[in-house]
Structure 1
Amino acid sequence: MVKKVLQSFGLNITTHPRCPLCDQEEESIDHTFLLCRWTWTLWNQCMTWWEVTSCVDGTVLNWFYNWIGLCPKAKYGRPWNTLFVAVTWTTWEARNKKVFSDTETSVFQVTDHVKFRVAWWF
């Protein structure tokens, strides 16, 4: 869970509430998985594999509901859906490495992990 959710449960979070990936904005689910400049760079790099560009309407839930319609090539349905899960999972992993191990991961390293996961899971 992100710090904001933990704080809503009354847990005393002693670290600052900013996103561990960009250290610019307050961490939230939408920020961490979609709006963070670090995460958005990752999404854009991965979407270019399918020659897809998109704008974001602001929430992860809406992003998820609209995801399948973003890829114009119907034959890519299953790997395209796999990409969504791979990006969110790998973002969460990079976030936790920073929070719990103070290990910085570049977007380019994470992009390689996403490529591997899409190939392996598909």
Structure 2
Amino acid sequence: MRIPVRVELDKRGIDLHSVRCPVCDDDLESVDHSLINCKFARDVWSRVHKWWNFSSSSVLNVEVIEGKCGHSSSAIGQKIWQAVVWVCAYYLWKNHNLKVFRNESWSASVLVSEIQVKAFEWISSRIKGKSIDWSNWLVNPQVFLNL
């Protein structure tokens, strides 16, 4: 995964005032940290897993970001969960950039709401012959893992 995190930029000789995470300032900014291990990212992933009724510990690894977790038995269900993961990663990075370039950030609850909306829009526009109901999506999205 090629994301311009501070640790990698520093290796390339780009002068930065710090290589620490701009979101939490607790650790060096690596891909793993930014998308998984940052306190903010962990909070977002935990909320996404709570929304999907998964245990929060099963999401916090690189394999989930790379789409290698097995929450679904169907091919469509796997693609739905993978889309949610990618939308989540996208919004975590978007929040990171908001912090870096504007010194602003979203709350975890706002970010998860954005993830729910964008993942629903993306998935419902791409699944042929299957209907995804918004209210079920918000309350019980796990039902879509078995489409």
- Normalising by structure 2, report the TM-score: 0.71
Q: Distance in 2 between matches of 1:49 and 1:34?
A: 17
**Which whole-Å CA distance do the structure 2 matches of 1:58 and 1:11 have between them?**
30
TM-aligned CA deviation for residue 99 of structure 1: 0.2
Alignment-derived partner of residue 90 in structure 1:
91
- How is 1:16-55 mapped onto 2 (pairs within 5 angstroms)? 16-55=18-57
Q: Sequence identity, in percent?
A: 23
Moved more, 103-112 or 73-82: 73-82
Displacement of 1:66 in angstroms is 3.3
Alignment-derived partner of residue 15 in structure 2? 12
Mark the CA change 1:101 to 1:37 in structure 2 (over 3 Å): closer, same or farther: same
SS at match of 1:30: helix
Aligned counterpart, 2:114: 113
SS at match of 1:110: helix
What residue ranges of structure 2 are gaps of 5+ in the alignment?
124-147
Listed as ranges, the gaps of 5+ residues in structure 1 are: none
Deviation at 1:105, TM superposition (A): 1.5
- Deviation >6 Å, runs of 4+: none
Q: Normalised by the size of structure 1, how large is the TM-score?
A: 0.85
Q: Which amino acid aligns with 2:25?
A: D
Distance 2:85 2:30 in 1: 19
Tell me the amino acid that sits aligned with residue 55 of structure 1: S
The structure with the greater share of residues assigned to helix is: 1
Question: Structure 1's 98 and 87: CA in aligned 2 closer, same or farther, altered over 3 A?
Answer: same
Query: How many residue pairs end up in the alignment?
Result: 118
Summarize deviations over 1:34-88 as a string: whole Å, max 9, x none.
111110111111122221114369752x332532x1x256463232111111000
